[in-house]
Amino acid sequence: MNVVIVGGGAGGMTAASRIKALKPDWDVKVFEATSFVSHAPCGIPYAIEFDFPSDELMYYRPEVFVRERGIDLHMNSRVVEVKKGKVAVDESGKVNEYEWDRLLIATGASPKIPDVDGKDLENIFTADLPPDADVIRRAAKSAENVAVIGAGYVGIEMAEAFSHLGKSVTVIEMADLPLPNFDPEIGEIVKKEMEGRVNLRLGERLEAFEGRDRVERVVTDRNEYRADIVVVGVGVKPNTELAEQIGVRIGVTGAIEVNRRMETSVENVYAAGDVVETEHMITGRKVWIPLAPPGNRMGYVAGVNMAGGDIEFPGVLGTQITKFHDLQIGKTGLTEREARAEGFDVKTAFITANTKVHYYPGATKTFIKAVKDKETNRILGAQIAGYEMVAMRTNVFAVAIQAQFTTKDLFFSDLVYAPPFTPIWDPVTVSARVLRF
């Protein structure tokens, strides 16, 4: 059997590894357009903050896949055409054709660039592929003023990196609060934390970049800001072009539609990772929330099924976490706004709690916004901000929501307690009590 995988990111390489583990005799080819494999953009802000080279961002080196796992890995090889049973690949200027019995499209997502004047000036960057980390790091060395467009995850992490490096950072966000996919209670906390470190401009719309060759200024509908470099983090779009060539159905979200086995609408064509939409575990609706861990698991599922197995990907909750310096911010399930938009009759709780028993040194405040469905008492979502243990509490909610816990189930969860770690009534438990049973 000939397997072709388009894209050597985390999803593609996970699938390739799985197929070779299950079917060692099969020919598994991976075509990766860059000189990196097994990479993810999530590390780019940290390569800048801690100043390490981009090849560190690969989870595994190419040798691991080639020598240890027996994958026929083609780097710097861009698939230019996908046809029934064949792909055409541009390898160093020469186009070669390869045959496939089963195909995986794992082409990922790419950053959106706002269509404004000056968008092609030098020193305007996005955080996409590992080499972006190197060019941004190099450009940052001589930069004094940095503008970050967007205060979502990428914007916040980039703002941390540059303020850590002592740059003067302006963050420009269209919405009224940073992290606009959170409810405002949490956004306000993030806002306060950011305002202490960067020039945070909320409710401002980007209108243009200005400069001679390089960017010099960012112009908004309200103001203009000096900028020696600009990083744009205003969202991503799925790279569906190759899939469309072969007639794969695109879903309501604009990403590739797949079933739970990661099969597309075209026979023997699978898709996985940031390029596909999936089911939301709560609503059952199709969503496109491109994030690394589900992308990897989708690759795993695609690999098992492509190798003749049978396993289903159950969907996502959109669990995510980020930080801005000391403030950690996590989210799982639906926000109040999202839950209302889905038609739920919701009750919410917003609590402030200490992270430890009062007498143990070093307790800090943590904030939880939790959402339940009034009709069933099911937990629908939680957003947490604080200075420690945000990952822990977000994960407790994530597993509880996956398990369809009611507030009462969550109240009676048998969570850890010891004075160095938590208060006796964990804030999660408190939020369940405040939401009522």
- The H-or-E segment that residue 100 falls in is none
Q: Is 293 in the site for its own copies (CB under 8 A)?
A: yes
Shortest reach from residue 349's CB to its own copies, in Å: 17
Alpha helices in 76-222 (DSSP H): 130-141, 153-164, 184-195
| Nearest of 263, 261, 258, 256 to residue 301 by alpha carbon | 261
Pick 93 or 362: Cβ nearer its own copies: 362
Instruction: Tell the burial category of 325 from Cβ atoms under 10 Å away from its Cβ (0-12, 13-18, 19+).
Output: middle
Strand partners, 18: none
For the record, the structure tokens of 214 come out as 């390089």
CA gap 104, 16 in Å, rounded:
9
Q: Which amino acid is at 343?
A: G
Would you count residue 98 as binding its own copies (CB under 8 A)? no
Q: Which of 323, 337, 340, 347 binds its own copies (CB under 8 A)?
A: 323
Residue reference for tokens 């000939």: 2
Q: Is 129 in the site for its own copies (CB under 8 A)?
A: no
Contact pick of 264, 394, 407, 431 for its own copies (by CB under 8 A): 394
Per CB under 8 A, does 317 bind its own copies?
yes
Name residues contacting its own copies, limited to 359-378 (CB under 8 A): 359-361
Task: Give kind and range of the element (H or E) at residue 30.
Answer: strand 27-31
Q: Does 389 bind its own copies (CB under 8 A)?
A: yes
Spell out a b/e string for 168-177, using b for 16 or more CB atoms within 10 Å of the CB, else e: bbbbbbbbeb
Q: Which is nearer to its own copies, 269 or 327 (CB)?
A: 327
265 binding its own copies? (CB under 8 A)? no
Q: What is the DSSP string of 311-323?
A: -----B---EEEE
Between 57 and 258, CB nearer to its own copies = 57
Residue from the set 59, 131, 199, 434 that interacts with its own copies by CB under 8 A? 59
From the candidates 2, 22, 35, 42, which is the catalytic residue?
42
User: In the complex, what is the shortest distance from the CB of residue 55 to its own copies, in angstroms, rounded to a whole number?
Assistant: 10
Q: Name the residue with tokens 């604009």.
A: 254
What is the footprint of its own copies within residues 334-363 (CB under 8 A)?
357-361
Please, what is the minimum distance in Å from the beta carbon of residue 346 to its own copies?
20
* Residue 409: CB minimum distance to its own copies, A: 7
Residue 269 in the binding site for its own copies (CB under 8 A): no
Site for its own copies contains 52 (CB under 8 A): yes
Q: Which of 93, 361 has the CB closer to its own copies? A: 361
Least separation in angstroms between CB 62 and its own copies: 16
- Of 26-34, 109-117, 263-271, 418-426, the segment contacting its own copies by CB under 8 A is 418-426
Backbone angles phi, psi at 77, to 5 degrees: -125, 110
Minimum CB distance to its own copies, residue 8 (Å): 15
Number of residues that bind its own copies (CB under 8 A): 68
Task: For its own copies, give the closer residue by CB, 181 or 402.
Answer: 402
Is residue 331 within 8 Å of 381, Cβ to Cβ? yes
* 88 versus 311: smaller Cβ distance to its own copies: 311
Q: Is 42 a known active-site residue?
A: yes
Residues with Cβ within 8 Å of 293's Cβ and at least 6 positions away in sequence, in order, are 319
- Do the Cβ atoms of 89 and 31 come closer than 8 Å? yes
Kindly state whether residue 252 participates in binding its own copies, applying the rule CB under 8 A. no
Half-sphere exposure of 22 (CA within 13 A, CB side): 19
Q: Does residue 413 belong to the site contacting its own copies (CB under 8 A)?
A: yes
Question: Who contacts 249 (Cβ-Cβ below 8 Å, separation ≥6)?
Answer: 256, 257, 264, 265
150's tokens = 């967007």
Cβ-based neighbour number of residue 419 at 10 Å: 14
H-state helical runs in 87-168: 130-141, 153-164
User: Is 387 one of the binding residues for its own copies (CB under 8 A)?
Assistant: no
**Dihedral angle of Cα 45, 47, 48, 52, to the nearest 10 degrees:** 180
- Min dist CB 280 to its own copies, Å, is 10
Interactions with its own copies, residue window 25-44 (CB under 8 A):
40, 42-43
Helix (H) or strand (E) holding 432: helix 427-435
Applying CB under 8 A, the residues found at the interface with its own copies are: 10, 40, 42-43, 46-47, 50, 52, 56-57, 59, 281, 291-294, 296-297, 311, 313-314, 316-323, 328, 330, 332, 357-361, 389, 391-392, 394-396, 398-400, 402-403, 405, 408-409, 411-422, 424-426, 429, 437
List, by residue number, the catalytic residues: 42
